[in-house]
Amino acid sequence: MTALPADVEMIRNGSRGLYWLEPLLEVETDSGRLGFGPVTSADVPSIFTADGFDEQHQKCVGPVDELPWLANQQRFTMARCGIIEPLSLDQYRHHGGFAGLANARSMSPRQIVDCVTDSGLRGRGGAAFPTGIKWRTVLESAGDTKYVVCNADEGDSGTFADRMLMECDPFVVIEGMLIGALAVGASRGYIYCRSEYPQAIDTLNQAIALAARAGYLQDFELEVRRAAGSYICGEETAMLESLEGNRGMVRYRPPLPAVEGLFGKPTLVNNVVSLAAVPEILAQGGASYKALGCARSRGTLTLQLAGNIRRGGLIEIPFGASLRTILTDFGGGTRSGRPIKAVQAGGPLGAYIPPEQFDTALDYEAFQAIGAMLGHGGLVVFDDTADLGQMARFAMHFCAEESCGKCTPCRIGAVRAVEVIDRIHENQDARGNRILLKDLCQTMIDGSLCALGGMAPAPVLSIMEHFPEEL
């Protein structure tokens, strides 16, 4: 550790999501925060001088809020990330925290649900289901006990918005769950967090203890549960099985979890980002959120720009910008400096999008129209050296590994698809095997119980369509 001058107070805030500039050191000045990055410990002595700090330092990037990368964002859900100390209730309140909960407490459950419905918020976990409709279903389902479950399994490659919220602004997740509990009449809650995020689990546990001590959890029992490394447990019914202590096998539906969920009780299941959007929606009113966005995709999208990209990180903007804007203006092209070959959007079950389609608007329906999906908002960039034939194989291999095994198209289909792809790559009756692969994909799409088997064909089919020379 390098010693800082004695009069410097050091604070460990969360990440702003500017991963390309991190480790980022910020100095509070009268004119805002001045940034230095990416810094190493060796830089620290030269940044701090006897009478302050060196504004001319080669690592100084100027006022952080004025960096175009941040200035061109509209932080709504992630507004406090990187600004506050994650575990300071005072700072959380000082930056608008608990205003939404205060409003919710003066409203009837029905009014809270209406406010969320009016906002146009749709689930950010992947399926983009209207949040207000789900909340109303749980509210109207009778039950002596109801649950709120926060889905923090964030299994998609290329995503980290949930992790950032849990590590950098944990109280907003708790506040979102408290508002959800008020709205649907729930008395217990769980946060199901993937085990790959030990720091998020630790931060959440501390935040829950602090919130409880401050009296926020009197009518709501909240607990974090560590998942155990299974991708399918991000699917909500498999997650409920896992919480109950079972193998993570997907359930048939109906019944919906909103009607018969955890331990058979009505259960509100939402993603971390969905829940974290709620406090500010309740604070400002549904209309202000709905004013942002385009078509049926309202509010802001928390994009995660990842993979082979020069300036990767968390970008929150209203829906509607083009994919190209993100890749070029924010991302600055690939990290390798080579041309972009494709972008996989929406995690391992999402399509590979070719450059010809980079003008597509970031909007759920526009993505669907090109056979792609926005999902949880992850964008993984590949340069022209990527072997997409191998990525197609990987998609099916991953599906085979992670299949819960309940339905045949997914359990067997994915294994067979890997074999067929291998035969194509070995040039054994490539034409016949391509037809077979498409047929197999269609069987998985039509016959799988959940979206794991139902969407694992998407990356494969997109590669066959747009990059026929690779598969």
Partner 1 sequence: MTDHINTESEEIARSLQHLEGPLLPVLHSIQDRFGYIPSESVAVVAGVLNLSRAEVHGVISFYHDFRQQPCGRRVVSICRAEACQAVGGAALAEHARHSLGIDFEETSTDRSVSLRSVYCLGLCACGPALCIDDQLHGRVSCAAFDALMSE
Ligand X SMILES: Cc1cc2nc3c(=O)[nH]c(=O)nc-3n(C[C@H](O)[C@H](O)[C@H](O)COP(=O)(O)O)c2cc1C
Residues that bind partner 1 (CB under 8 A): 19-20, 22, 154-160, 163, 188, 195-198, 223, 225-231, 242-248, 263, 304-309, 312-313, 335-336, 344, 348, 378, 380-383, 386, 391, 394, 398
Judged by beta carbon, residue 61 or residue 232, the one nearer ligand X is 232
Q: Which one of ligand X, partner 1, none interacts with residue 105, CB within 5 to 8 A by kind?
A: none
Closest distance of CB 429 from partner 1, Å = 28
- The item of partner 1, ligand X, none sharing an interface with residue 309, based on CB under 5 to 8 Å by kind, is partner 1
Shortest distance, position 447 Cβ to ligand X, whole Å? 15
Given ligand X, partner 1, none, residue 230, with its beta carbon under 5 to 8 Å by kind, binds partner 1
Cβ neighbours of residue 73 closer than 8 Å, sequence gap 6 or more: 315, 316, 317
* 43 vs 154 by CB, closer to ligand X: 154
Residue 13: how many other CB atoms lie within 10 Å: 18
270's contact among ligand X, partner 1, none, with CB below 5 to 8 A by partner kind, is ligand X
Q: Closer to partner 1 at the Cβ: 224 or 424?
A: 224
Min CB(66)–ligand X separation in Å: 33
Q: Closer to ligand X by CB, 43 or 156: give it.
A: 156
> Residue 241's Cα: distance from chain center in Å?
22
> What does the alpha-carbon distance between residue 201 and residue 378 come to, in Å, rounded to a whole number?
22
> Given the complex with partner 1, which of 139 and 314 has the nearer CB atom?
314
CB of 173 to partner 1, least distance (A): 15
In the complex, what is the shortest distance from the CB of residue 331 to ligand X, in angstroms, rounded to a whole number? 24
Which single residue is written with the structure tokens 């890749």?
Answer: 327
State the nearest-atom distance from the C-beta of 231 to partner 1, in Å.
Answer: 7
Please state the closest distance from residue 112 (CB atom) to ligand X, in A.
Answer: 16
Q: Please name the amino acid found at residue 385.
A: T
Is the Cβ of residue 244 or residue 359 nearer to partner 1 in the bound state? 244
Is residue 147 within 8 Å of 265, Cβ to Cβ?
A: yes
Q: How far is the CB of 19 from partner 1 (least distance, A)?
A: 4
366 binds, among ligand X, partner 1, none (CB under 5 to 8 A by kind): none
For residues 197 and 289, which CB has a smaller minimum distance to partner 1 in the complex?
Answer: 197
- Complex with partner 1: residue 36 or 192, whichever CB lies closer: 192
**Under the rule (CB under 6 A), what is the footprint of ligand X?**
123-127, 129, 151, 153-155, 232, 234-236, 269-271, 274, 450-452
Q: Which does 451 bind (CB under 5 to 8 A by kind): partner 1, ligand X, none?
A: ligand X
- The amino acid present at 171, given as its one-letter code, is F
Shortest spacing between CB 451 and partner 1, in angstroms: 17
- Cβ nearer to partner 1, comparing 230 with 443: 230
Interacting partner of 126 out of partner 1, ligand X, none (Cβ under 5 to 8 A depending on kind): ligand X
Residue 382 binds which entry of ligand X, partner 1, none, CB below 5-8 Å type-dependent = partner 1
Q: Which does 274 bind (CB under 5 to 8 A by kind): partner 1, ligand X, none?
A: ligand X
